[in-house]
Amino acid sequence: MRVVVAVTSLSTVAMLLYPLLAREVQLSPTQAGLFLGGSIHDVAQVVGASYLMGQTTGDTATIVKLLRVSMLALVVIVASAAYRGRRLEIDRAGAPARPAPVPWFLWVFLLLVAAHSLHGIPEAAQPLIGDTSRGCLVMAIAALGVKTSFPALLETGWRPFALLLVETIWLALALLASILLIRPG
């Protein structure tokens, strides 16, 4: 949970600072969407930061972030399959430890992506589904806020936080440099 708090904290700071940085270096709306969607860790903060900059930036950032999430789902499934074949370890109580299953919500996510991509969700249901999705996202953000404890974060120590901070800065700078290098003119 402490890692989640640290990542959420860094994402919140990024949500506030990265749009200012995108404006400062004069990124186009699409470039800003690529930057925000590619560099902010949490979906909620990507949405919050990007739609403040406009519809095009928000739409682009959301697509980029959801593509990142989709890739993460595939990484989790492949990693789970790779470790499933290894011999079972013995836990502290002497019972065989089971390999970690793929979380159920990843299967639901992939099923919904496939259903929507194959036009399996009726057009009339999409506004209700969209409203429900946004409501769930707001509840998830609120739940993270309720579970966030800065004293618990401090108990983790500075090394894990420093690693997350360096990774966050590196990701933002690498992505920003890539966008600036391929910017036309």
Which amino acid is located at 167 in the chain?
E
Q: Where are the domains of the chain?
A: 2-71+103-182
| pLDDT higher than 80, residue 62 | yes
Tell me the percentage of the chain whose pLDDT exceeds 70: 87
Kindly indicate the confidence band of residue 97, based on its pLDDT and cuts at 50, 70 and 90. Answer: low
pLDDT digit string, tens, across residues 33-45:
999 999 999 888 9
Residue 181 or residue 102, greater confidence:
181
Task: Quote the pTM value.
Answer: 0.75
Residue 21 or residue 142, greater confidence:
21
Say what the pLDDT of residue 35 is.
97
CA distances from residue 169 to 17, 111, 172, 175 in whole angstroms, order as listed = 12, 33, 5, 10
Say what the pLDDT of residue 85 is.
60
pLDDT digit string, tens, across residues 110-121:
898 899 899 999
The structure tokens 């999430």 sit at 69
Residue 141 or residue 139, greater confidence:
139
